[in-house]
Every structure is written in C-alpha cells, then in structure tokens.
Homo-oligomer: A and B are copies of this chain.
Amino acid sequence: MSIPSIKDVAKLAGVSTATVSRVINSPEQVREATRLKVQEAIRNSDYSPNTLARDFRRGSTNIIIVVVPKVGDPFFSAIMRGIRNAARTEGYSILIREAAGSEMGPDEISSLVVSRQADGIILLASVSPFGTEILSERSNRRLPIVIGCETMSPDLSDFPSVHINNVLAARDATDYLISQGHTKIGFIYGEKQSLLTADRELGYRAAMRDAGLDVEEGWVAEGRMTIQGAEHAARHLINHQNPPTAIFCANDEMAMGCIHELKSSGIRVPEDISVMGFDDIRYAEVMDPPLTTIAQPALEIGERVVYRLVKEINRKPEAGKESKAIAKPEVVPHKLIVRSSVTKHRH
C-alpha cells in the first residue's frame, strides 16, 4: 500500500474529503461525532497531510528563509534565537540558507526570491554587489524581504531593514580609543565590497577627522572578516614606519586574529597596542585579554526583523498600489562594552 492521502481517510471514515480537510484545518466547523470518527481514521491510516500539495494549493508555505553568510559564525547565535522566538509566536518555520560569501550567485538568490518556496526572506548576508541588480529588479520583488544587520547599497535602501547605526557605532568606538589618549589609530576592515564594514570605516574616519587626527596611509587594511586575513592585516599595520598604538577591527573575529598576530610578534596587548573589536560575540569575554568591543542587541534585532517581515507578508492584498513607499530602517541602539583589550595610551 502506498502513502495514504486524504481520500483514503475519507473513505475509511465514511465522509467526504472536504470534511477530513476541515477536521484538520478548522475542527470547530465539524460536529464532534464526525470529528472523532475522522481523527480515528487519521490515526488508523497513519495519514499525514502532503505538505507539498497543501503548500501548492494554498500558495504559501509558512516558511521564512534566513540567508546567512556562514553558519559557523558565532555572531548569529543570538540573532537566530531572536528570530526563532518571534517566528514561533507568529507561526512560521525558519529555514536557513548559507550564502557563503560570493558562492551564492545572483541566480541562486534570484531563484530564492522568485520561487515561492518561502513566504518571506530575511537577509542577514550582504548581497552587494552581485545580487544588487537582481533584487532591485521590479520583477523579482515578489517575495517580501527584510534586511537585518547589513547595510545595503542605496538602490536597495527602500527595503525594510533593522540594524544598528554602524557609522555611529564605529565613531563611538573610535572616540573611545581617542578618549584613552590614542592618536595613532589603525583600522582593519572586512571585505572590500562590503558596505557594512565600509560604514564602519566611515565612522572611524569621521571620528578621526573630527578629533583633528590624521589617518596615515597604511593604517587601514583589509582583513576579509577572517582570522588569517586579520593576521595579515595586523602584520601590515605594525610594519608601518609609524605604527598605530591602537587598532580597531571591524569585527571580533578579526580582533582575535589581530591580537594573536600581535602577541606572536612579541607585542603586548593592551600595554603596547590596544585592540578594539565589534559585535561582542560570546568568545569576546573569554579572550586574553578580554575584548573591548561594541555590542549589538542581537536578540532584539532578530525579533524585530521577523515582526517586520510578517507585517510585510500580511499586507500583500493591496498589491495594486505597487507600494513605492521607501521603508525607513529601524535603528536599534548599540553599546560600548569596556573590557581590557584597550588601555590608556602612555605618551
């Protein structure tokens, strides 16, 4: 015997398929006696609805896909927790899609958007520059999309989003270093094309400029968001003829690489060089030295991003209007976390 369908149940219970369907989807509509009979038949036939057929018929899946750059990134732990919480209360299932850097091409992202395998998409991964054109094509705006954490290029900025103010946060971080007496401050950014770390660099440079400090050529380098990349960048910075006394890394993982490289070169952190991170991943406080960094309200971001998305999903009906309204981003507060990797500079 093959896999049982709703018909089998109907026959077994002596009712129509419509009634079985109602027992499953709106039990209050069917009389108790019938309901019991049907439920009994469901058990006996070991039936469970064919999700594929159901989703097809309904035209929706109750699934939200979260696109994440890399599953092994500790930064996403808390965000995902927030996403799960909110998704559960809203009745959605979460599936995660790994973008893995540039390995997820325009085709993939496009197919994700255009095929209705999900009711909505949460982008925690940068889609610039490759996917930008894709997403901005009107034709691909079929599925609601909300962007979390990431900064998007201007032509995508009308997507709803929730994130901290990265420019301001980086500025605060830099200001803190300056307040500790540092004047020669280096910066390690992530990927060249990433607008996210570009924003952080903007904040860094703004703070330096406003404090009347120079940013020497060679004080900023690319760390590719990886440990090895940051090690390489750190080596570059300390080999500079006039090396910085403090280094601001665009995320914590790079800070780890940076610190490791410094120590390996016999440089003490923070006594010789201070290091500042970004994100406050869970390893930050057990590092040696514990990392001074910027914390994002990850749980809150996760929750708000799905509430925002669900709102978007539910106001599909009036699709006639082709709502051109630019969604203003929801900005959540960041926070400076002072630990021990930054210390006062002794002149």
Contact = CB atoms under 8 A, between A and B. Distances in A.
Contacts of A46: 139
Contacts of A56: 50, 52-53, 55-56
A231 to B, nearest CB: 8
A283 B98 contact: no
A251 to B, nearest CB: 13
Interface in A53-77: 53, 55-56, 59, 61, 65, 68, 70-77
A75 B72 contact: yes
Contact of A71 (B68, B256, B260): B68
> How many copies of this kind of chain does the complex include?
2
A84 interface: yes
Which of A51, A70, A95, A286 has most B Cβ within 10 Å?
A286
A19 B12 CA distance: 40
Interface string A89-115: 000001111101001000000010011
Interface residues of A, number: 52
A148 interface: no
Given A56-B56, A115-B51, A76 B71 contact: yes
A286 B226 CA distance: 12
Contact of A51 (B97, B116, B227): B116
A271 interface: no
Interface in A131-186: 139, 142
B286 A256 contact: yes
A5 interface: no
Given A260-B286, A282-B227, A283-B227, A71 B51 contact: no
B116 A96 contact: no
A25 to B, nearest CB: 15
Interface in A282-309: 282-283, 285-288
A117 interface: yes
Contact of A70 (B77, B115, B285): B77
Interface of A: 3, 46, 48-53, 55-56, 59, 61, 65, 68, 70-78, 80-81, 84, 94-98, 100, 103, 111, 114-117, 139, 142, 227, 256-257, 259-260, 263, 282-283, 285-288
What 9 A-B pairs are tightest by C-beta distance, nearest first? A72-B77, A51-B115, A260-B286, A96-B96, A56-B56, A288-B288, A52-B56, A95-B95, A72-B74
11 contacts: A50-B115, A53-B56, A65-B95, A71-B73, A71-B77, A72-B77, A80-B100, A84-B103, A96-B96, A227-B283, A260-B286
